[in-house]
A and B are shown apart, each in its own frame.
Chain A
Amino acid sequence: MNLTLHVWRQPGPDARGGMERYEARDISPDMSFLEMLDVVNESLVESGKPPIAFDHDCREGICGSCGMMINGVAHGPMRGTATCQLHMRSFGDGDTIYIEPWRSRAFPVIKDLVVNRSAFDRIIASGGFITAPTGSPQDANNIPVAKRDADEAMDAAACIGCGACVAACPNGSASLFTAAKISHLGLLPQGQPERERRATRMVAQMDAEGFGHCTLYGECQEACPKQISIDTIARMNRDFLVATRHEHEEKVLGGG
């Protein structure tokens, strides 16, 4: 099939960007979206033009590197599918496709479709972990975990950190990303000791990074390639409230 692409080109972080038009010829429906871009890039290089820069690595929908707005939709038209797992059979011959980077204040563009998502790492660093230094644990089966809790924790832990939730959110909120980690760890017995501190710190970091506030549009869960539910956000809000109340009580009681 043949397609017309309009792609965001921006030479560097401080340069001005704009949409460029390209023709993609002889595309097989069995190609992945990124393989289609590979074909376009090879022909660009052959004609002496700089190829389109985009992040990608595993091409199996698990590393979270890839991600672009495809016709205004994060990761494109197929639900629960990262860009690298989207195949061209989702499009028709003669289609026009608009391709843009994630748009968010907290994800500045580096080049073309490549953005800087290191804000996510800083959110995790602020508290998205269980402190268990190497070598200290007890036998794994000493901590039984109800299957239901383990399964629910796994649902939340499936997040690949791609940033689609932020890109899809009209407010540019990172709530789904942050809530997924808070839920994963908060659902497990091992995660209890740090549960409140984790919620307070991660939420504070999320705000400090310049992400918007969540007003429960729900666009994030629609865009999420791992279909993480916004129920996790309710869980985050609950943990955050409890933590804030306890902190307040401690101040009142302990402050004397």
Chain B
Amino acid sequence: MELKSKVPSGPIERKWDKHRFEMKLVSPANKRKFTVVVVGSGLAGGAAAATMSELGYNVKCFCFQDSPRRAHSIAAQGGINAAKNYQNDGDSVYRLFYDTVKGGDFRSREGNVYRLSQVSVNIIDQCVAQGVPFAREYGGLLANRSFGGAQVSRTFYARGQTGQQLLLGCYQALEKEVSKGGVTMYPRTEMLDLIVISGRARGIVVRDMVSGEISSHLADAVVLASGGYSNVFYLSTNAKGSNATAIWRAYKRGAAFANPCYTQIHPTCIPVSGDHQSKLTLMSESLRNDGRVWVPKRKEDCGKRPQDIPDADRDYYLERKYPSFGNLSPRDIASRAAKEVCDEGRGVGPGGRGVYLDFADAIRRLGKEKIAERYGNLFEMYQRITDENPYEVPMRIYPAPHYTMGGLWVDYNLMSTIPGLHVAGEANFSDHGANRLGASALMQGLSDGYFIVPLTIGDYLGSNKLEPVSVDSPEVKATEAAVRQRTEKLLSVQGSRTVASFHRELGRLMWEYCGMARSAEGLKQALAVIPKLRDEFWHDVRVLGTGAELNQSLEHAGRVADFLELAELMCIDALHREESCGGHFRVEHQTPDGEALRHDEQFAYVAAWEYAGDAQPPVLNKEPLVFENVPLSQRSYK
């Protein structure tokens, strides 16, 4: 497999302009003749579907929730970055680009990241025009806050509900196009396979989740915007339905999967409270603007009430270790630091797996009212879940799986290794390298969806002559048959264990061996256990009911079956990458003071894995990464 990044030549500031000029166009009259399937209605999919319909394409958009407005982007809290420099604090497109490349620990593609930073300013304009109610200053202009990994204030927000407001803006644009007839929306419809004909993506096979009917939708191009795969860990901050099925099926049809082991563990989540736990709740990183992270200096103090521990006996470890970024150190660093102090036995709360996030100083400085205005809904959410009042006692937080930087490999046009298959948003691997900075996922989803895919799809359709396809073609029939067979197989096992019990077991395994700290020994152990668990699943899972009805166990079973395969690829990737970078921390590779130690000569590449059949190990393809603008250096936030 040849990986052509297709990054345009020339100086970095000119690449996207040059490319926009060189791309083929489709005339307005011809756009109507093309059908594009979009899987996903989150920021990436919703924006792409709405924009392509505005341009004149015939769009079919799919989501598994009952309404496109419920895509998981809705849950994003803290904010969205943009290089507007409205605060006049020295921000620029170049600085956002620089911060993102460095934040990603030099494992992303410079050309893509620069474009993302350029487009970021248009996103804010677009969203404001749609009526997104961003926070404002008294003068009526837009307000900003800071996020981890940055020393400027470039994050735009709408209380603690930024994702909700951005998604509603996008959903409203989508519904506007639905009413005009340009988009047909298919809610409660799950993509279960990709149709590939003559080497090109030509449609998808879906299951209607209410009637159970399996059918095909043909297209001239397909966009996958199906979100991330953090739920491979069972417990994560993702929604319960978030899954890898769409991208995993595409991988098995020939799309390379890039950097599957790059996962982000978010430092500020509410700790696990018991075995019944079904998901973990994020407490937005924006809280680190005003909250101070600490644990007791001495183990013996861990059982004391926090208010009884004097300042002198507290270890504000982020401020101590990283004085210039302090509580706003990047996520991977803050998460590992929390794990470290808990491993030393200085953690607080049940099981010693927690650290304090304390607002007492901020409340003293700014008043309770100001804090309530900034974070009120997050404080309420915390209190509802834990029954503790964070205005009075510090929050307890612990890291949790949150975001996946890995995803399907795409070139500069966001096209995968299957021609015609584009991948947008968290589902692709493109812009964040080995660690994503806070408030940059919303930016990337909207950049991909509003500004990139709609143009690069035109280039693909304008420069390729596609043969006509029909639902009766053998490829379509065979793909549909495979989906039916798999569904029947899941229903016919009739074993003794629930789907959730397998998912929980897989999650525990992945958290233990492929979570915040990884070792060759642990990964090998995981690689020995996962195939056994998968085998047990296919022999002993119990899915009741039929395929011809709304069947939530069946849906869950299909997703867990795919996670059981993806988990193995994640461990293979983590084992092969003999270095530490960003969210991938191999205990064998660390600096004397415990920081991630990269090995640039061997590993400055994207690992793009190619499926080679269930019986063969996947094939590793490498896309070398070249840094012409941001010199490779050890990341320092000290």
| A and B found bound together | yes
Binding site for B on A (CB under 8 A): 11-12, 28, 30-32, 34-35, 38-39, 42, 45-46, 48-51, 53, 55-65, 78, 80-81, 85, 87, 89, 110-111, 114, 116-118, 120-121, 124-126, 128-141, 143-147, 150-151, 153-154, 157-158, 160-161, 184-185, 188, 190-191
Q: How far is the CB of A110 from chain B (nearest CB, A)?
A: 6
Q: How far is the CB of B631 from chain A (nearest CB, A)?
A: 33
CA of A118 to CA of B579 in the docked complex: distance in angstroms?
Answer: 49
Flag B269-296 by CB within 8 Å of A: 1 or 0 each. Answer: 0000110111101100000000000000
Apart from A46-B498, A129-B175, A158-B161: 8 A-B pairs, beta carbons within 8 A:
A34-B278, A45-B498, A57-B65, A63-B72, A137-B128, A157-B133, A157-B168, A161-B69
B139-147, B361-369, B587-595: which lies at the interface: B139-147
Size band of the interface chain B makes with A: 35 or more
B553 engages A45 (CB within 8 Å): yes
B340-348, B418-426, B544-552: which lies at the interface: B544-552
A121 engages B175 (CB within 8 Å): yes
A140 engages B131 (CB within 8 Å): no
B239 engages A63 (CB within 8 Å): yes
Given A51-B552, A134-B54, check contact A59 B278 (CB 8 Å): yes
CA of A190 to CA of B134 in the docked complex: distance in angstroms?
Answer: 13
Q: Which residues of A contact B72 (CB under 8 A)?
A: 57-58, 63
Main secondary structure, interface of A, reads loop
B161 engages A143 (CB within 8 Å): no
Flag B109-149 by CB within 8 Å of A: 1 or 0 each. Answer: 00000000000001011111111011111111110000000
Q: Which of B122, B128, B553 contacts A143 (CB 8 A)?
A: B128
B251-259, B381-389, B467-475: which lies at the interface: B381-389
The reply to whether the CB of B70 lies closer than 8 angstroms to some CB of chain A is yes
CA of A141 to CA of B88 in the docked complex: distance in angstroms?
Answer: 14
CA of A154 to CA of B165 in the docked complex: distance in angstroms?
Answer: 9
Q: How far is the CB of A31 from chain B (nearest CB, A)?
A: 5
A140 engages B171 (CB within 8 Å): no
Q: Which residues of B contact A147 (CB under 8 A)?
A: 136-138, 140
Given A46-B498, A53-B550, check contact A117 B67 (CB 8 Å): yes
B128 engages A140 (CB within 8 Å): yes
A188 engages B133 (CB within 8 Å): yes
B240 engages A56 (CB within 8 Å): yes
Flag B227-239 by CB within 8 Å of A: 1 or 0 each. Answer: 0000000000001
Q: Which of B67, B127, B164 contacts A118 (CB 8 A)?
A: B67
Q: How far is the CB of A254 from chain B (nearest CB, A)?
A: 25
B384 and chain A: residue at smallest CB distance:
A85
The reply to whether the CB of B314 lies closer than 8 angstroms to some CB of chain A is no
B139 engages A144 (CB within 8 Å): yes
B134 engages A150 (CB within 8 Å): yes
Q: Which of A11, A35, A53, A133 has the most CB of B within 10 A?
A: A133
Q: Which residues of A contact B210 (CB under 8 A)?
A: 110
Q: How far is the CB of B145 from chain A (nearest CB, A)?
A: 15
A45 engages B544 (CB within 8 Å): yes
CA of A143 to CA of B126 in the docked complex: distance in angstroms?
Answer: 12
Flag B446-460 by CB within 8 Å of A: 1 or 0 each. Answer: 000011001000000
The 9 closest A-B pairs by CB, nearest first: A144-B140, A137-B129, A129-B172, A132-B129, A125-B175, A140-B128, A125-B179, A154-B133, A57-B239
Q: Which of B68, B129, B135, B239 contacts A150 (CB 8 A)?
A: B135
Q: Which residues of A contact B68 (CB under 8 A)?
A: 121
Q: Which of A11, A63, A143 contacts B65 (CB 8 A)?
A: A63
CA of A58 to CA of B72 in the docked complex: distance in angstroms?
Answer: 7
CA of A26 to CA of B308 in the docked complex: distance in angstroms?
Answer: 34
Q: Which residues of A contact B168 (CB under 8 A)?
A: 157
A42 engages B498 (CB within 8 Å): yes
CA of A144 to CA of B138 in the docked complex: distance in angstroms?
Answer: 10
